[in-house]
Each structure stands twice: as structure tokens, then as C-alpha cells.
Chains A and B, each alone.
Chain A
């Protein structure tokens, strides 16, 4: 008899990592599956079981016979937990698993198993222990096979009933258990009842009877084989055919056409894969909201995340293969995740602080427009509250005295620029007047502001002080009549040749800031992509592995870019409605806080799993 059932997986959602939740599991494995399935179609199919990347698969088969119970355990670690297993399997970290180490491990493991016969604890003695090569286990495709024996032999009569209890506690929080029961009808051993933990499959209690051996009949044999085959089918259905991929890599079976299809599929897989939780999608979106990026920013950020992500996979893959003992994926990835979490936290808090205290303007899109300030023109800045002076200035800019002095200093023309308006005052801030001065400050900092017109009042005083502080004092007045405007412009033109160093930034959402986000967003490698690379590397198909990962990353970035552009353009749509515009002006603050909390969640998750 054979009864199997899957255990409900547990785990948490990663921010950058693949989904680990019940529904997400399938999608998280999609790219690997998709690539492998394609290969499986292209080649002969030999189904082999595989398992999720961050869990152990522990399959126990219990064989009941007249003298006892055979416990056959197949223990296969996912790529991220392989480390944990190797610490026990290869304590001297020499990259070799010797027979002694296998036996020692089997002994250690037996202490995590409970076996009871008729209510009495019984010992599990090791019959055999065998592990796949170190390289297979580290890349998440190896298995450890252990065969234990339990004796039920007594001197009493042959007709007996037994109750057998079995429980596996080895990494029970990280394991996907399966349990298979086999009786031996030919020898008169029959299971009459069994009760198991249906949810976890980690423990089972079996009642079985030992009767007279029956004559071997063809029918019974057939039936038992049939059940066995069925059980294997179901057990092997988690994900298929890693071995296919390996065989294919080994054989070098790729024609240029299949390689192209493979790469295209890898890109598509990457694009879909990015929709699973994690992969920095949320972060990219929040960052673009917080900084009010442009579509161009969205594209660059998406590409940066992808490049970092590919690089981090290459790097980690290289490290794992060159010095396996020191760089176990299961150890390195959580550390990278922790570092990334801390960095995200810092980034989010920094964004919030600079925003609240006025170091950064709320309208990042203002600064791309700093490009309006012209190196060769006399730039005159007009604050929103001095709008009534504008027409005077426009007229004055073409008055003869101004044109004369323009020619003298060799400036091209007068460039009158708006500094913006009250829209900025809608934004919440701890020090509003300082925040609103951000627009003026950025302009002054360019060193290319020759004239400044600000309405009367407190603001004028503040701007005046600011100008003095930046050491960049433009001609300053609020003209009421044309003569005043003309005089101001003449003074501004005279200042033009005395400019200090001029630096007009092209964009405010600085590339440095964007790059730091891109780095943090992509630094934690996706285990799925890593697994593909490691498999390719382990069979010597380095170039193909690198290319597949690269295309996978391209697909990923396309999704990130699409999300980014969607966010950026929705902001523009929102700005058409005054209410939504106002809401969206608060969004940067919310998004900064959100980014901080993402970082916090990442750190908290890692800390929890460590503790």
C-alpha cells in the first residue's frame, strides 16, 4: 500500500527573492521550468524529480517486513539550503564527501528521527549511506540516500500485530516531506491502518499485521508494482528534469536555432518572472514616485537593476564554483539580502530626511529644467510672487541700454526664467520657507544666475540671505517701472563676465542617486537564475549559462522598465486633476517611508530566519 501527500510549503515572501508562498511557488519556478520544459521537449524525456530552491525535500519510504521496518530516506537540499546540509556532510570543508562522513551524517540524522514499535522507542541502525558528489549538492541537484533498519523481531509466534510510529524532525521548518508506505503482501505483511500528519507528512503511525506468507502470485506482484509506479509518478511531479538540462549541456546538443529559441524563452521567462513578488519592482516604483522620475529615469533604473543583477549572479556563480567551501550560496545570499535591506532602509530614510529638511527639492522635475539656464546668456530668475514684473523685464530686455551692454560683455541674450510658483507651497514640510527656497538655491548654485527678482516681504529677505551664503550674488531688485527693470538688467549683464565657476546640472535625479538605487535593487541574486547558471557551469557550458542568465535578466528589466514608465506617466495623468495632483505631491513622502519599511522588512526577515 502506498499513500502519499504533499506538505504545505511554508516560508515568507522575499523582497528581491523569488516568491515562497503557496501560490507564488509555481511562478517563482516558472523560468527554470520553462527553460527545462523546452529542453525536455527537444530531447528524450526522462522525468526526474526536483524540488524548491530553499527547502529540503525529504522522502521517506517505509518498507514493512516480517522482521522489521526498513526506513529509506532520500534527502535533497535546494540550492539555498545546500549549505546547511554540507556543513554536516563535509565538516572538514575539503569539498569531498567521504564514506566516513556519510556514515557520520547518517548517525547524526538518526538522532532527529523517532521510531517506536508498539509504543517503545527503538534504535535506527544504519544499513547504508550514500551521497551524490559535493558539486551536485552545492548546485541543488544532489541527493543523500540513507537506509536505516528497525528490528521488530521477537521470539514469539509468527502471527502478530504491530504499531509502528515514525517521525522526521530534521529541519522540519525547511522541509517538504513525503511519506510512502510499502507492505509486503507476499510475505504476509499487511498494513491495516495508518494515521499521519496530513499537513506536514512528517510523522505517521502504522498498524500492520504479520500473517502467513502466501504463495507468490503474479497478480499480487503486478498490483504492488503498479502502486509503486503510481507513487513514483506523483512523487516526481514537483518539477521536472534538471537532469535533462544537464545531459543536454553535456552533450553539447545545441544547434544555433535551438540556442536562439532558448535565449528568447529565457527573456520571456525573465519578463514573467519579474512579476513574482520581489525583484525590486516595488522598490523601483516607489523610488520613481519618491523622486518623481521621468520615463528616461525609469529606463535607466530598470537597466541598472538588470546589469547589477546579472553581475551579482555571475559573481556569485564564479565564487561558488571557484571556492565552494567559502562561498556557499545558502550563506552568501542571506548576507547580501541583509546588506541590501540595510542599504534600502538607509536610502529611504535619507530620502525622507532630505525632503523634510529641504536639502532636496520636492519637484525633482524642476531640476532637469535647470538646463534652461544658459551658459552664454545673461540669466535672470523671477520668483512666482514677482510675476507682475515679468512684462517689464521682457520689454527691458530689448531696450537699447541693455542691448548695448550685452554686446560689450559678449553675452548672447537675456534669458528670463521662472522659478516656479505657489504649487510648491502645497507640500508639507517642517521648515516650509526653507523648502520653498530650494528652487532658488538650486538655481543660485549653478553660478549662472545673474539677476534675481523676488516679490517683497519675508521671502525677499530669505532669498537675499541665501544669495549671500552661496557666494553667488546676482543683481537683485523688484522693478515697478521700466527704468528699474532696465537698470536691473544692465546690472545683471555687467555681472555676466564676473561669474565664478558655472555648473548647470542636466538633471536633479542625479545619476549617483539612480545608480545607488540600481545597485541595491539588483544586488541580491535571484536563486532561480543562479541555479540555471550553476547547472550550466557544473557541466562546463559556461558561455551558454552566462548568455541564458543575461537574457533572463533582460526580460526582467523589460518588466521593471514597463512598471517604471507606467508609474511615471500615471503621475503626469494625475497632475491634470488638482485634487489628485495635490495627493500625488504628498506621494514622495509616503514613498520614502514605504522604501524605508521595505528595507526594514527585509532586515527583519533575515534576522528572524537567523534567530
Chain B
């Protein structure tokens, strides 16, 4: 099934869009894996998951013992030998929480560059991402950080569509440009822009102009209902029918719907 990666500068509404897309895709009976790869995860709340479910969520990167067991490493020690292709096939089912056909899995913050990239925790996430994108039978939405750090040359190939969310500010545009560059380098061809928090045609024109060479998948309006829903612990999907309609259209445009 479809594998979608969502990226963009922090605060532009990546997570809001991911949640919207996830619900949209469940409408025709799909099971959807929503993967929160943001270091400060909020996808569960954005999806309006009940509090008792949110409590059950544990980021994969914090499962020290599991990581040690699977990678053959020792907890708390860096630089040692460890397995780069640990068994991860059971992890999405075992450690995700499910609500309305959406299976949520939190990755947790990857370890910093100070320790080098090759630590067992990061290896585990990499193997898990690879599994989710290449072997997982269900639809997967990967809510990433501003960048492509979870993707490699091999996994990028498996991404059916990458959506970069932008808003009407130059900084989010700048970030979008660098993400586009990295994505192209990795070989992701199906790249889409979604403009969020749009107030008027002027905002649309600004974004369209700045990202001339990119495909625009659609626009999402600036919505007070979304803000209220966030405050009430409700999902935007349940709060704003207009937004949902636009989300469906976008899903169709990027031909994943």
C-alpha cells in the first residue's frame, strides 16, 4: 500500500496535515500506520487519541532493552559492534496504539550527532523505517522532522509521495527548498507542496511563485476551528468539514486516495 512522507519546517502544520491525511485514508476502509518521527511528538494529540491511549505510547528509541536485545549491543555504550539489520517486523504491531483504524507509532528523538550516527538506537529506527516503507502491507504516513534524515537511498525509493507543508512565510519556503534538494538527491520523484494556513489568494500566489518549479497538491485554509479543536483535544478531522473536503482533494491529487 501507499507510503507517504510528510516534511516541512517546524510549526507549519505537518502534523495537522498528517493527521488529516491519516483519517482521510481510513475512510475507504484502509488500515493506516501513522508514524510520529518528530523529536517532540504531538501526532497522538493531533489525531485526537483518547488520553488513556496516549499514555500507553512509548517511543521506540526509549525501549533500551529491546534495542539492546535486537541489535546485540549493550545499553549505554557507544561505538561497539551491533547488528544493523535487527528484527523489527513485529514492532509496528506490538508497540503501536490503535484508534479508529489508525495505528500510531512513536519513534522518539534520534541520538545527536555528537555521538556519531552509528548508535544502536538510530540503527533500530533506520531498520524500522526501512521495514515500514518497504515491507509493511498497510498504508504508512511518516510524519518527519524538517528534513529527510529518516530516509536513505534505499528507503527513499519506497516513498510513493513526499509532501512538504509550507505556510505563507519565507522561512518555511526556504526550508522547503532544502528539503526538495535533499529529496531529489535521495531519488524521491513524487514531491508535492501543500500550502497551509492560507487566508486569501495573495498567500496562495506568494507560495506558488516562490515554489514555481514544484507541484502544488492543494491549499488548506487558516481555520479557527482547527485551533479550537487543538485546544479541546479533538482532531481537526472531526472539527472542520471544509478542511476534510480539501484534504480528500489533496489525497486524490497526489494519487494516494
Question: CB within 8 Å of B: which residues of A?
Answer: 363, 365-366, 368-373, 382, 384, 387-398, 414-424, 439, 443, 480-482, 485, 572, 575-576, 578, 581
**B35 at interface by CB-CB < 8 Å:** no
Q: Which residues of B contact A (CB under 8 A)?
A: 72-74, 76-85, 114-120, 123, 126-127, 129-130, 134-135, 151-155, 157
| Minimal beta-carbon separation of B79 from chain A (angstroms) | 4
Task: Known A370-B81, A576-B76; judge A392-B152 contact (CB<8 A).
Answer: yes
Q: Would A384 and B118 be within 8 Å (CB), given that A365-B74, A395-B134 are in contact? A: yes
CB distance from A550 to the nearest CB of B (A): 34
Cβ distance A423 to chain B, nearest Cβ, rounded Å: 4
The minimal Cβ–Cβ distance linking A602 to chain B, given in whole angstroms, is 33
Question: Inside 8 A of A395's CB, which chain B residues have their CB?
Answer: 130, 134, 154-155
Chain A positions within 8 Å of B82 at CB level: 369, 372, 417-418
Whether the Cβ atoms of A388 and B153 lie closer than 8 Å is yes
The smallest beta-carbon distance between A555 and chain B, in angstroms, is 31
Contacts A395-B154, A421-B119, A424-B79 given: A390-B84 contact, CB under 8 Å?
yes
* A388/B81 contact (C-beta < 8 A), A369-B73, A421-B119 known: no
- Whether A393 lies near B85 (C-beta < 8 A) is yes
B154 contact set on A, CB distance < 8 A:
391-396, 482, 485
A259 to B116, CA, bound (A): 59
- A369: which of B80, B84, B130, B153 is its contact (CB, 8 Å)? B80
* Chain A proximity of B147: nearest CB distance (Å): 14
Chain B residues near A572: list those with CB within 8 A.
Answer: 76-77
Count A-B pairs with CB separation below 8 Å.
117
Residues in A whose Cβ lies below 8 Å from that of B116: 384, 421-423
A372 touches B81 (CB 8 A): yes
10 contacts between A and B (CB under 8 A): A369-B73, A371-B72, A382-B84, A391-B151, A395-B155, A416-B83, A423-B115, A424-B79, A575-B78, A578-B114
Q: Considering the complex, give the chain B residue whose CB is closest to the CB of A481.
A: B153
Q: Closest chain B residue to A422 by CB distance?
A: B116
Pairwise interchain contact A387-B155, C-beta atoms closer than 8 A: no
Q: How far is the CA of A398 from the CA of B85 in the complex (A)?
A: 11
> In the bound complex, what is the Cα–Cα distance between A389 and B186 (angstroms)?
12
Q: Are A372 and B83 in contact (CB under 8 A)?
A: yes
**Given the contacts A369-B72, A369-B74, A384-B118, A416 and B84 also touching, CB distance less than 8 Å:** yes
Which of chain B's residues have a CB closer than 8 A to the CB of A482? Answer: 153-154, 157
Asked whether, in the complex, the Cβ of A415 is within 8 Å of the Cβ of B83, the reply is yes
Measured between beta carbons, the chain B residues less than 8 angstroms from A416 are 83-85
Q: How far is the CB of B161 from chain A (nearest CB, A)?
A: 19
Task: Tell me whether A369 and B118 are in contact in the complex, defined as CB-CB below 8 angstroms, given that A388-B152, A394-B154, A481-B153 are known contacts.
Answer: no
Q: State how many angstroms separate the Cβ of B132 from the closest Cβ of chain A.
A: 12
Decide: B153 and A392 in contact? CB cutoff 8 A: yes
CB atoms of A391 and B152 under 8 A apart: yes
Considering the complex, give the chain B residue whose CB is closest to the CB of A373: B81
Complex Cα distance, B19 from A36, in Å, reads 78
Closest to B127 in A: A394
CB proximity of B152 to chain A, nearest CB, Å: 4
Complex-state Cα separation, A423 to B151, whole angstroms: 23
Q: Is the CB of B74 within 8 A of A423?
A: no
The reply to whether A393 and B76 form a contact with Cβ atoms under 8 Å apart is no
* B77, B84, B153: residue with the most chain A Cβ atoms closer than 10 Å: B84
- Taking the closest CB of chain A, its distance from the CB of B61, in whole angstroms, is 15
Is A420 in contact with B126, judged by CB distance below 8 angstroms? Answer: no
Which B residue's beta carbon lies closest to that of A427?
B79
A365-B77, A391-B126 given; 7 more Cβ-contact pairs under 8 Å: A369-B81, A369-B82, A392-B152, A394-B85, A394-B154, A421-B79, A572-B77
